[in-house]
Structure 1
């Protein structure tokens, strides 16, 4: 019955930074999780007392414990879920010999050195009734985070293995006893652990860690390649979700100021040409202060019929530095035309507007923007 079902939710935390907890591509993971928990409650699941907002949910998780060593306190480690050394040693002994050997070579004897409270492994997460929200441990430590994330032959740490084993072990055996697992949003690191690419065996780490635990995976619909990876390597049931609504990038900050100066220049050409030299200087100063030389230098190599411009990144011509005040009339006009085109192109570009929340279709202005 639903009231007895136990479900675990995993938030990504690949960098082990508190600021990156729940980071998912295009998905508001906290708001989505809170919506899912409320829906489960309506279906008779035991979700305990839920926070009123997604911000409260995130703060409760971070206050409980994280894997951010710059913020983690001994008190938080004591409040975390603790897996005794002896229990983990028995779980570790169940792994194939080749996996045990690789983990010992990389991370030492169990329980390793990371995230320990005494001799027990500390797992970050929070109970809500029979639900558990876990932070996915980092794949490694003491290395460059990007190298850890993308190294295909790096075995998981003892701490990483302990979380997934604890989630699927029944309570009588010292585990959480999950009937199903949900990875909240693209993407975690489990599907990138060492092993075969297709048709995994018991010698492959994703298979060893998941066992036969069903995995549901909300995943942004516009990345089928990595979604397929999760299906093939983590037997995931993919739950596609929309990307965030698209919106116009528009211009802001120095770019908006530059656009206003260019517009003013065109007006003064007709109304008061005597002020153009002053405005040219302001435009040039802003281009330099905003370090737009690289972008504009690349885009300004354009053929205007009778004149081919070859401004480089420092706006030199034949190796001699050029400023707007030193250019002749046609050159200035062409340069401003190209700057104006560059700003219009940026402003019209479509970008993601916010984050998607599971179960909430685009509404209002977001709907035509998405369409």
Structure 2
């Protein structure tokens, strides 16, 4: 905020900027002095445009359209059609509305502007109305005022990555940066940036499907989504757009590859794509000792075989279709979800360790509503490095294909697992009607009502009784 800059109480801003720069990204700091961030974005985040000259060749011109736009009403703010962004991401360090500030919210105008600019909005969280110590000690994380101003309102504009990066300490007189949080956020921003700049044939993606309750029949289930055909369509689209992916012949073949393969050899519910030794797991997972205090020594009894942890799924070129392990407490999943302590089991942690540090995924896509990652123990919102969703997703950019009719749990995925949601519609609802013998019975009843012939009515009545008995309807 401008007040922090002019009063030189900007240590938290400087800390995050330096962390981002250490990751090799250039930072363009901008102060928005109005309640409308579009003006600052138009002035500083839009570079030169391509405009054809008299010969039809492209030449660069400076966009000066914002000079006239400042005096226009909110709904009239338009970018030049050929405007080119100078930035790959916009990171708000103040919270509040993108258009309107703390006093109001014009989310439609914000969404329209950001869609035209085609640049994602991140909203990092500064602890302005609670101390760092209060946040760290709180089971809920952010207090209601912080959560409302700096998470819920920016979400309406489409903001993601609600990372706490700094704030006031109990004994301090100015905000300070939280180095570990700044470093984690900076690395996540770098990973998001790579998705925009790397060659598509180099990008590695993990598509995660779910399995609850744990058995082969429940692999690839999700609310209102036919998962395997959906994943197959995603694979085809990725291949068509230049990603390195081996596309199975059809959705049924994909299902067979995941459910079959070598699963019987290991007594697993799905194909085992990688066997992680206990030594490798302990070396790569920095939280393994905390999990052992809850679940015993690795590898444990879930998703394990001998002294190995089993990573289930199938690799298709640079795409890994993974099966997310179960909660562990299948008879009482709320035991883990509602626990102030607790931890995911070794098999669950091993999957996300594999995706980030062995497969080297550039992003993870959870497919369907919903999995278990975002419900793991930790703060409700404004997570710390002690919270399990934060630990598990690590530095991986996260996209979640989520049902449009479940915004409440979708918000949990956004806030606790830093997910960008891609919504899918629920199937259309229509009258299912009657089928088979029920339809035949209906036709007999209609014929009985419509006929006036006594002999025909008697025959129809007998047929109705026989059909009703065959359908196990009570007759008297």
1:179 Cα shift?
A: 0.8
Q: Write the mapping of 1:274-289 to structure 2, written as runs, cut at 5 A.
A: 275=458, 278=462, 281-282=465-466, 285=469, 289=472
Q: Note if 1:74 corresponds to 2:266.
A: yes
Q: Note if 1:113 corresponds to 2:301.
A: yes
Query: Which of 429, 445, 453 pairs up with 1:271?
Result: 453
Aligned partner of 2:250 in structure 1 is: 53
Aligned partner of 2:333 in structure 1 is: 148
Q: Determine the C-alpha separation between the residues in 2 that align with 1:108 and 1:11.
A: 27
Report the CA distance shift for 1:3/1:149 in structure 2 as closer, same or farther (over 3 A): farther
With normalisation by structure 2, the TM-score equals 0.52
After superposition, give the CA deviation of every residue in 1:166-187 in whole Å (9 maximum; x if it has no partner): 1111xxxxx1111100001111
Quick check: 2:324–2:371 contact (8 Å CA) kept in 1? yes
Aligned partner of 2:353 in structure 1 is: 165
Q: Write the mapping of 1:82-161 to structure 2, written as runs, cut at 5 A.
A: 82-92=275-285, 94-95=286-287, 100=290, 103-140=291-328, 143-144=330-331, 147-148=332-333, 151-152=336-337, 153=339, 155-161=343-349
Which runs of at least 4 in structure 1 moved beyond 6 Å after TM superposition? 75-78
Report the CA distance shift for 1:120/1:243 in structure 2 as closer, same or farther (over 3 A): same
Aligned partner of 1:63 in structure 2 is: 260
After superposition, give the CA deviation of every residue in 1:64-104 in whole Å (9 maximum; x if it has no partner): 355xxxxx323879953011111212344x2297xx1xx33
Report the CA distance shift for 1:244/1:114 in structure 2 as closer, same or farther (over 3 A): same
Q: Determine the C-alpha separation between the residues in 1 that align with 2:383 and 2:373.
A: 13
Aligned partner of 1:329 in structure 2 is: none
Q: Determine the C-alpha separation between the residues in 1 that align with 2:425 and 2:381.
A: 27
Q: Determine the C-alpha separation between the residues in 1 that align with 2:288 and 2:305.
A: 27
Q: Write the mapping of 1:218-257 to structure 2, written as runs, cut at 5 A.
A: 218-257=401-440
Aligned partner of 1:346 in structure 2 is: none
Aligned partner of 2:359 in structure 1 is: 176
Q: Could you list the runs of 5+ residues in structure 2 that have no partner in the other structure?
A: 1-198
Q: Note if 1:44 corresponds to 2:228.
A: no
Q: Could you list the runs of 5+ residues in structure 1 that have no partner in the other structure?
A: 67-71, 170-174, 292-322, 325-371
Q: Note if 1:24 corresponds to 2:222.
A: yes
SS at match of 2:260: helix
Q: Write the mapping of 1:332-371 to structure 2, written as runs, cut at 5 A.
A: none
Quick check: 1:64–1:124 contact (8 Å CA) kept in 2? no
Aligned partner of 1:316 in structure 2 is: none
Q: Determine the C-alpha separation between the residues in 2 that align with 1:14 and 1:277.
A: 48
SS at match of 1:8: strand
Quick check: 2:260–2:271 contact (8 Å CA) kept in 1? no
Higher alpha-carbon deviation: 188-197 or 256-265: 256-265
Quick check: 2:302–2:328 contact (8 Å CA) kept in 1? no
Report the CA distance shift for 1:112/1:278 in structure 2 as closer, same or farther (over 3 A): same
1:216 Cα shift?
A: 0.6
SS at match of 2:351: helix
1:259 Cα shift?
A: 2.2
With normalisation by structure 1, the TM-score equals 0.66
Q: Determine the C-alpha separation between the residues in 1 that align with 2:359 and 2:447.
A: 66
Report the CA distance shift for 1:280/1:251 in structure 2 as closer, same or farther (over 3 A): closer
Quick check: 2:261–2:271 contact (8 Å CA) kept in 1? no
Query: Which of 200, 206, 211 pairs up with 1:2?
Result: 200
Aligned partner of 1:14 in structure 2 is: 212
Query: Which of 391, 399, 408 pairs up with 1:216?
Result: 399
1:106 Cα shift?
A: 4.1
Quick check: 1:65–1:79 contact (8 Å CA) kept in 2? yes
Q: Determine the C-alpha separation between the residues in 2 that align with 1:222 and 1:279.
A: 45
Quick check: 2:273–2:315 contact (8 Å CA) kept in 1? no
Quick check: 2:402–2:422 contact (8 Å CA) kept in 1? yes
1:262 Cα shift?
A: 2.6
Quick check: 1:254–1:290 contact (8 Å CA) kept in 2? no
Q: Determine the C-alpha separation between the residues in 2 that align with 1:75 and 1:124.
A: 12
Report the CA distance shift for 1:64/1:264 in structure 2 as closer, same or farther (over 3 A): same
- For these two proteins, the number of residue pairs brought into alignment is 272
Q: Note if 1:202 corresponds to 2:385.
A: yes
